[in-house]
Amino acid sequence: MKSAQLAGSLQITGDMSVAEIIQLCPNARRIFDQHGLKGCGGEHGPAEPLSFFAAVHQADLNTLLNELNEEVKRPSGAKYVYHEALEDYIYRRFFKAGIAIVLSVGALWGAVNLLQIALGKSFLQLNLLPSIHAHAHAMIFGWVGLFVMGFAYQSFPRFKNTTLWRPDLANRSFYMMLAGIVAFMAAELLLPHPVALSFAAFASLVELAAVLIFLTVLYQTARKSLEPPNRYEKFIAGSFIWFLIQAVLNDVFFFAKATAITPKELIMRIALIDGPLRDIQTLGFAALIIAGVSQRFVPAVYGLGKPGRDRQNLIFWLMNASLLLDIACYVLFLKTHILFFAIGLEVAYILMPVWAILLARQLGVFRSPTQPDRTFKFIRAAYVWLIFATAMMPFFVIYGALTHQVFAHSYLGAQRHAFTVGFISMMILGVSSRVVPILAGVDAKKLASLWGVFLLFNFGSAARVTLQILTDFIPRAAYPLIGFTGFIEVLALAWWGIELWHTMNQAKTQRPKVLGAPFPIATS
Ligand code: HEM
């Protein structure tokens, strides 16, 4: 009787949180589900305001308010009972595995490699190569790959207002990917022992199968959707094509190394394949998915408004064309030494900061957010790092000439680190710290500011990039210092990872507040 009276006098407003509305009117969940909520925020729904939900799910706030108020006045059907399904929490295992990997065989392993480089006072220690390649594999497949897969399985069906096709298969792809990562790392370390080939063959098969399952599940999910295709989706499609290509090239790279007969042949093969492979992984797979998700997510979530001029298509073609030109000219120049291809490579490098600046402007990351949040500093910093890292590329050849090097290894290594840590990983930290509290139904305003993580991560990354370049000029001073920078980054990642893990666990443990708890109710 009392709740009927309450419902009669209640007016839902845009500043009420989704959790408050669901607590008051459980059937409202049906309406939220139609707009893509489906399990976000767990049993009680996210602590975000209704106006935020409408902006992120591209729903009209007034229509939503009318639907909700109608439901409150005249409840339709039986009481909604929430059941958590695999597709609602599948992201948690991907994110947790990603954290576990980055803090063990990923960044921590990389930090140990860097310490060995510092102790040996050289970035060119051939005996460290298997270990560095194992680290790179863990980072690309286990860190970037698992976060992308977990995020995609969770968010893309909601972006497309549908449900995940075959969550059981999606789940299988998780275990296959994990098995592949472990086996591949073992194969890298066991080379040149013949057993390495068996590990690599197994790893290649399961990783490739995991990627194909991932792509199939998302393709079928998109097919189920009635929503018209969105323009940002071509970035995501492009990224997935590069994801598949890099998985194949990664295996080719391994078998090319394993079958090299002389050390000279080994070095030539590494020189030929390593560059294109890493560029496909970072500038193709990672950068395109970040660009696509950013366009769907960043302006809406942080309230950055629309770009003055929409350049989505131009950015997309510049990103792909510069990468293709880069790969083609790199390979052809290495094979022929014809100057024309070196010029083509330089053109590709010049195009990279162009698309990076256009992308940052398109998103408006340098405007003031109307929805400020503790994670916005990560997003903005990531784009500063992106512009910085891509702006380093056109100077690669000039730098080599000035320092009398045929191949400026330290400069390129520093550039890669600026891209993989400053841009890619900074985005993973920022986006996950924004999304996970929403998915877990935790009020982000009550969580830590993450300033400590932010400062440490930026400091560690900036110190690494600067010191790696300085090893060309003042090696005696730069090498001992650079050995510490990896551990600073690992510390920042551990700080962030523990918080995120804890927030994910709250999704399982949170219990409802007592009904009738005070919250703003505007009476009509
Ligand atoms: C966070 C701390 C990290 C540390 C301490 C670290 C350490 C290292 C070191 C010492 C190298 C060899 C550098 C060189 O020879 O110039 C390297 C290479 C590499 N790292 Fe990292 N790294 C970290 C993060 C990452 C991340 C986040 C990614 C990917 C997203 C990544 C991917 C790679 C790749 C692709 C290479 C190149 C391997 C090759 O030469 O083929 N690293 N890393």
DSSP letter string over 57-87?
TT--HHHHHHHHHHHHHS--SSPP-----HH
Neighbours of 124 (CB within 10 A): 10
Choice between 68 and 299, residue whose per-residue pLDDT is larger: 299
Distance in angstroms (rounded) separating the CA atoms of residues 486 and 118: 11
Distance in angstroms (rounded) separating the CA atoms of residues 275 and 330: 8
Using only C-alpha atoms, the chain has a radius of gyration, in whole angstroms, of 25
State percent of the chain over pLDDT 90. Answer: 74
Distance in angstroms (rounded) separating the CA atoms of residues 291 and 218: 18
- Apex CA 46: angle with CA 40 and CA 50, to 5°? 110
Strands (E), 265-326: none
The beta-carbon contacts of 224-228 under 8 Å, at least 24 apart in sequence, are 224/162, 224/163, 224/165, 225/157, 225/160, 225/161, 225/162, 226/161, 226/162, 227/160, 227/161, 227/162
Q: Using the mean position of ligand 1's atoms as its centre, give its distance from the Cα of residue 135 in Å.
A: 7
- Cβ neighbours for 230, distance < 8 A, ≥ 6 positions apart: 159, 296
Q: Residue 522 above 70 pLDDT?
A: no
Question: How large is the average pLDDT for residues 160-182?
Answer: 96
Confirm or reject: Cβ of 114 under 6 Å from ligand 1. Answer: yes
pLDDT of residue 521: 35
* In contact, 431 and 151? CB cutoff 8 Å: yes
pLDDT of residue 518: 37
* In contact, 258 and 201? CB cutoff 8 Å: no
Cα dist. 240→221, 246, 280 in Å? 15, 10, 11
Closest atom of ligand 1 to 413 CA is 16
- Three-class SS state of 433: helix
| Preceding amide of 192 cis, omega within 30 | yes
Distance in angstroms (rounded) separating the CA atoms of residues 383 and 376: 11
Confirm or reject: Cβ of 492 under 6 Å from ligand 1. Answer: no
Q: Using the mean position of ligand 1's atoms as its centre, give its distance from the Cα of residue 336 in Å.
A: 29
* In contact, 213 and 167? CB cutoff 8 Å: no
Of 54-58, 122-126, 245-249, 273-277, the poorest mean pLDDT is in 54-58
For 314, the token pair is 């131009």
Confirm or reject: Cβ of 471 under 6 Å from ligand 1. Answer: no
Residue type, 258: A
- Cβ neighbours for 252, distance < 8 A, ≥ 6 positions apart: 273
**Mean residue pLDDT across the chain:** 91
State percent of the chain over pLDDT 70. Answer: 95
Task: Report the residue among 99, 289, 420 best suited for mutation to probe ligand 1: largest number of ligand atoms under 8 A from its CB.
Answer: 420
Among 71, 35, 70, 30, CA closest to 52:
35
pLDDT of residue 18: 83
pLDDT of residue 11: 83
Choice between 298 and 52, residue whose per-residue pLDDT is larger: 298
Q: How many CA atoms lie within 13 A of 33 on its CB side?
A: 16
pLDDT of residue 9: 63
Choice between 518 and 31, residue whose per-residue pLDDT is larger: 31
For 475, the token pair is 């090696």
Neighbours of 445 (CB within 10 A): 10
pLDDT in tens, 460-484: 999 999 999 999 999 999 999 999 9
Q: Residue 516 above 60 pLDDT?
A: no
* In contact, 165 and 213? CB cutoff 8 Å: no
pLDDT of residue 288: 98
Q: Residue 2 above 60 pLDDT?
A: no
Among 43, 70, 71, 41, CA closest to 53:
41
Among 158, 5, 190, CA closest to 91:
158
Task: Report the residue among 121, 135, 143, 495 best suited for mutation to probe ligand 1: largest number of ligand atoms under 8 A from its CB.
Answer: 135
pLDDT in tens, 305-341: 888 889 999 999 999 999 999 999 999 999 999 999 9
pLDDT in tens, 351-361: 999 999 999 99
Crossing angle of helices 287-302 and 233-258, rounded to 10°: 150
pLDDT of residue 82: 77
Question: 455-469 b/e with 16+ CB inside 10 Å = b?
Answer: ebbbebbbbbbebbb
Confirm or reject: Cβ of 277 under 6 Å from ligand 1. Answer: no
pLDDT in tens, 348-406: 999 999 999 999 999 999 999 999 899 999 999 999 999 999 999 999 999 999 999 98
- Three-class SS state of 11: strand
pLDDT of residue 226: 84
Confirm or reject: Cβ of 274 under 6 Å from ligand 1. Answer: yes
Strands (E), 207-326: none
Q: Residue 517 above 90 pLDDT?
A: no
Distance in angstroms (rounded) separating the CA atoms of residues 175 and 343: 44
Of 71-80, 108-117, 139-148, 213-222, the poorest mean pLDDT is in 71-80
pLDDT in tens, 232-242: 999 999 999 99
Task: Report the residue among 254, 417, 426, 461 best suited for mutation to probe ligand 1: largest number of ligand atoms under 8 A from its CB.
Answer: 417
